[in-house]
Chain A
Amino acid sequence: MASAPIGSPSTVRSTVNGPAIVAWILVATTALLLSFGALVTTYDAAMAVPDWPATFGHNMFLYPLGEWFWGPWDLFLEHGHRLLGATVGMLSLLLAAILFRRPASPALRWLVIAAMVLVVVQGALGGLRVILDDKTVAKVHACTGPLFFAVATAIAVLAGRRGRGDSSGPATDRSDAVGRDSFVAVGPLTLSLPSWAVGASLPTALAVAAYLQLVAGAQLRHADATLAASTFRWMVAIHLAGAAVVTVLAALTVIAWQPHESRTARRWSLAILAMVGGQLLLGGGAWLFTWGLPAWLQEAWAPAEAILARSPRGAAVITGHVILGMMILGAAVVLALEWGGAERLEQIARTGIRGGGRRLHGPQARLVPGAVTVRPRSERGAR
């Protein structure tokens, strides 16, 4: 573990990294929260409780636990979603309190502020969805959720790095670790990677694409029954095209990260690709459970029984598709930040997006006074 760099605002370091632990707890709770949210949509349970923020007139926290837990399934989901939401809100507050009492990097601070804003907005959206009984609000609510999850993950990564002293001093040279060797062997082929393909760019693009895919998926899941068939067809087409983009980006990331010095990073990129593969299967499964076999498949094989609507298996596949999508987003955020992107983010947070390490990976010198120095690739090779 690196010792604290000289000049770091904090030289006292314990082995327990409090903020990182709280942040990861926040991430895990958010994952559970989003899973409940996805189930609420799958079972159309949003209107199981007519009021908000109260639950059947009770203060949300005082609603009898037994009645909730042993009550109807819809109520279990909706009220559970609310309880988890409140927990996530309080955890965010706690995290902010911890982080703002200690020295933290600007990027971390801005992310925490973003998380606070998002969690408040998200809670209000959830309330509006119920009070107005409006599906459009539900749609937006479903898109803000994963965004918050991504931000929470980013906070956890940055807080963890800070604990290890990775970002408290001048950014280390990790960002170009990926680019050090720009040749990749894929089977018998040797590929030369362009400069944009190394570093955090690909995982960042992957995270963005994964998020947009969640947005597109939410449009499908919340499609109003009055929507025109032609519009819906477009929405499906966009979601399918998005799936192709995410798959390609995940595969490219694996290729680009092959020469990476960190085994964890290489494995992490492979894990994302595997998750994307699983996601394609779940997506196919979700199609089957909602629309049955496409005609061209029916010719070859079809069960003699009709699909069972609302079966637990179907609900698990469809909801699992949403949850795995969120996991892919989180994993891409980790990959992007943990190995290269964090420095860039810090850079951006300090100097604004224009001065930020826009071309941190390019073979050029000195971006910002006092910040990272990147040498041309030729020089690096000679190292």
Chain B
Amino acid sequence: MNNNPADVRHPRGPRPVWGMKLLVLLVLLVMFAASGCGATPPAWFRLNMVEATKQKLTPEQERQVATVISAMFGTPDNPVALPETGLDEAKLRLAAGPVRSDIVGRKNGLYREHCAHCHGVTGDALGPTAAFLNPYPRDYRPGIFKFKSTERADKPTHADLTRVLKKGIPGTSMPSFALLSETQIDALVEYVKYLSIRGETEIGLIRAIFELDEEAEGKLPETREFLVGERLAEVVEKWKAADTALIDVPEMPADIDLVESIAKGRELFYGDKANCVKCHGPTALGDGQANDYDDWNKYVVEWTSKEVNGDADKQWVNRAHRVLDGDTLEPRTIQPRNLRRGIYRGGRRPLDLYYRIHAGINGAPMPGAKGTVPPEDIWHIVNYVQSLPYELDGELGADRPMVARDRF
């Protein structure tokens, strides 16, 4: 007989010991969920380790560059826009920092919300998802941009970058941000410029270490005159000049005979002045020269093959390889565009194509026709390129498929 109430409630056995185990299990699960991550580290700008290693900076020199650059530009949460940069700090503050939307009608941290996963907090194209993208996301630090209305070596205008953000880049992972407000896009463009100016200034500082004379003892002068007046100004000047570097586009003749123009364009395309055929191939499927790299990848490839492996200092070679492993992505060749698909990354307006053909594509092997083809004739090439996705006759013949998708 048993009149212990506890036993009455649990007639079938001893009280469960299972509770403790459940708790342990819970704790384990929560730990599992949190594994591999301590508290989130504050966002920081990474030093350009590839350039620093390439220039064989000592650790002290690396530290100096990092300190100087952060004094000039602030941190990802606290950007600084020196008046000399011409950047609008209020816009930067909207784009920078962690994501917040607790002020009605305002979202802060836009860059980290929309861009940083691919382009990286530093704008070094080393965001977590970067390795999955083909083409890789753009690294802003060298200050080279492809799709713009300015001459090849010039910076893009504010409007060019705005257009890229609004339209996205078809055929790549870069989406269109057309759903964001004008203010937000404006802030993001400003922030991209900020990261680019910061990155290019940093590269300039690292390289400047090698132009130092003996008495500097490997240390950069920390004067405003040198840092801002020389290094920063050099970069900012180029951005300021963009608005005056617009490509001069002649009006397309209104009475142009399209059939004739296309025929002329075709001639130029295959001729040896423009020589588009060399890369885009006789079929224009983009199957010409295909073993080239764009500037970003070439930089890595050349450094690896020529300099790193040929160096006598084995310790440095090891260090360089570590940097290559951690701070670069597997180099990829660039494919000349298949022009029969009608997908244009820089925009598909005739004007966009004019810019591309006139100036070439900065950072890519695609050369400009400027100088070899008279400005008016470039319109003929534009017309021919635009006809390519629809071209049904020609020398291709039945065994040469018209569009890439027919090949599969």
Chain A, residue nearest B25 (CB): A114
Given A291-B129, A350-B16, are A47 and B44 also a contact pair (CB < 8 Å)? no
Option from B26, B30, B131 in Cβ contact (under 8 Å) with A230: B131
**Judging by beta carbons under 8 Å apart, are A139 and B34 in contact?**
yes
Residues of B within 8 A of A294 (CB): 134
**Judging by beta carbons under 8 Å apart, are A136 and B34 in contact?**
yes
**Judging by beta carbons under 8 Å apart, are A304 and B170 in contact?**
yes
Residues 1-35 of B at the A interface (beta carbon under 8 Å): 9-10, 12-14, 16-19, 21-23, 26, 29-30, 32-34
Complex alpha-carbon distance, A348 and B17, angstroms: 10
Complex alpha-carbon distance, A100 and B116, angstroms: 50
Residues of B within 8 A of A140 (CB): 30, 33-34
Complex alpha-carbon distance, A224 and B169, angstroms: 24
Given A47-B99, A299-B404, are A308 and B171 also a contact pair (CB < 8 Å)? no
Q: What is the distance, in angstroms, from A107's C-beta to the closest C-beta of chain B?
A: 9
Given A306-B175, A308-B176, A352-B18, are A226 and B43 also a contact pair (CB < 8 Å)? yes
Complex alpha-carbon distance, A45 and B108, angstroms: 11
Q: Any chain B CB within 8 A of the CB of A307?
A: yes
**Chain A interface category by residue count:** 35 or more
**Judging by beta carbons under 8 Å apart, are B171 and A298 in contact?**
yes
Option from B13, B14, B101, B121 in Cβ contact (under 8 Å) with A74: B101
Residues of A within 8 A of B41 (CB): 224, 226
Residues 90-114 of A at the B interface (beta carbon under 8 Å): 103, 106, 110, 113-114
Complex alpha-carbon distance, A75 and B32, angstroms: 31
Chain B, residue nearest A287 (CB): B132
Q: Identify which of A231-239, A265-273, A277-285 touches chain B.
A: A231-239
Residues of A within 8 A of B172 (CB): 292, 306
Option from A44, A226, A370 in Cβ contact (under 8 Å) with B113: A44
**Judging by beta carbons under 8 Å apart, are B117 and A225 in contact?**
yes
**Judging by beta carbons under 8 Å apart, are B102 and A223 in contact?**
no
Mark B34-49 against chain A: 1 for CB-CB distance below 8 A, else 0: 1011111101100000
**Judging by beta carbons under 8 Å apart, are A226 and B121 in contact?**
yes
Given A136-B38, A303-B170, A309-B176, are A110 and B127 also a contact pair (CB < 8 Å)? no
Q: Any chain A CB within 8 A of the CB of B365?
A: no
Q: Identify which of B199-207, B221-229, B341-349 touches chain A.
A: B341-349
Q: How many residues of B contact A (CB 8 A)?
A: 73
Chain A, residue nearest B178 (CB): A308
**Judging by beta carbons under 8 Å apart, are A353 and B21 in contact?**
yes
Residues of A within 8 A of B134 (CB): 294-295, 298
What is the count of residue pairs linking A and B with beta-carbon distances less than 8 angstroms?
189
Chain B, residue nearest A345 (CB): B18
Q: What is the distance, in angstroms, from A5's C-beta to the closest C-beta of chain B?
A: 13
Complex alpha-carbon distance, A225 and B116, angstroms: 6
**Judging by beta carbons under 8 Å apart, are A229 and B167 in contact?**
no
Option from A225, A295, A309 in Cβ contact (under 8 Å) with B177: A309
Complex alpha-carbon distance, A301 and B17, angstroms: 60
Complex alpha-carbon distance, A9 and B319, angstroms: 73
Q: Any chain A CB within 8 A of the CB of B314?
A: no
Residues of A within 8 A of B170 (CB): 302-306
Q: Any chain A CB within 8 A of the CB of B130?
A: yes
Complex alpha-carbon distance, A220 and B294, angstroms: 30
Q: Any chain B CB within 8 A of the CB of A286?
A: no
**Judging by beta carbons under 8 Å apart, are B128 and A139 in contact?**
no
Q: Any chain B CB within 8 A of the CB of A147?
A: yes
Complex alpha-carbon distance, A349 and B10, angstroms: 11
Complex alpha-carbon distance, A45 and B99, angstroms: 8
**Judging by beta carbons under 8 Å apart, are B13 and A351 in contact?**
yes
Chain B, residue nearest A295 (CB): B134
Given A48-B102, A106-B10, A139-B37, are A300 and B408 also a contact pair (CB < 8 Å)? yes
Q: Any chain A CB within 8 A of the CB of B112?
A: yes
Given A118-B26, A135-B40, A291-B132, are A74 and B19 also a contact pair (CB < 8 Å)? no
**Judging by beta carbons under 8 Å apart, are B101 and A45 in contact?**
yes
Chain B, residue nearest A350 (CB): B13
**Judging by beta carbons under 8 Å apart, are A229 and B130 in contact?**
yes
Q: Any chain B CB within 8 A of the CB of A368?
A: yes
**Judging by beta carbons under 8 Å apart, are A139 and B33 in contact?**
yes
**Judging by beta carbons under 8 Å apart, are B176 and A349 in contact?**
no
Mark A358-379 against chain B: 1 for CB-CB distance below 8 A, else 0: 0000000000101100000000
Q: Any chain B CB within 8 A of the CB of A227?
A: yes
Q: Any chain A CB within 8 A of the CB of B306?
A: no
Mark A222-258 against chain B: 1 for CB-CB distance below 8 A, else 0: 0111111111110010000000000000000000000
Complex alpha-carbon distance, A114 and B27, angstroms: 12
Chain A, residue nearest B164 (CB): A306
**Judging by beta carbons under 8 Å apart, are A302 and B102 in contact?**
no
What are 9 sample pairs from A and B whose C-beta atoms fall under 8 A apart? A114-B26, A136-B39, A215-B33, A226-B43, A229-B127, A306-B171, A306-B172, A306-B176, A350-B10
Nearest first, the 6 A-B pairs at minimum CB distance are A306-B168, A143-B33, A232-B128, A225-B116, A309-B175, A292-B173
Interface residues in chain B, defined as those with a beta carbon under 8 Å from any beta carbon in chain A: 9-10, 12-14, 16-19, 21-23, 26, 29-30, 32-34, 36-41, 43-44, 98-102, 104-105, 107, 112-114, 116-117, 120-121, 126-134, 167-180, 326, 329, 341-343, 348, 404-405, 408
Given A229-B329, A352-B16, A352-B21, 14 other A-B contacts at CB below 8 A?
A44-B101, A50-B100, A113-B19, A223-B128, A225-B128, A228-B126, A228-B128, A300-B408, A301-B405, A302-B341, A306-B169, A309-B180, A350-B10, A352-B17
Interface residues in chain A, defined as those with a beta carbon under 8 Å from any beta carbon in chain B: 44-50, 56, 71-72, 74-75, 103, 106, 110, 113-114, 117-118, 121, 132-136, 139-140, 142-144, 147, 215, 218-219, 223-233, 236, 290-292, 294-295, 298-311, 348-353, 368, 370-371
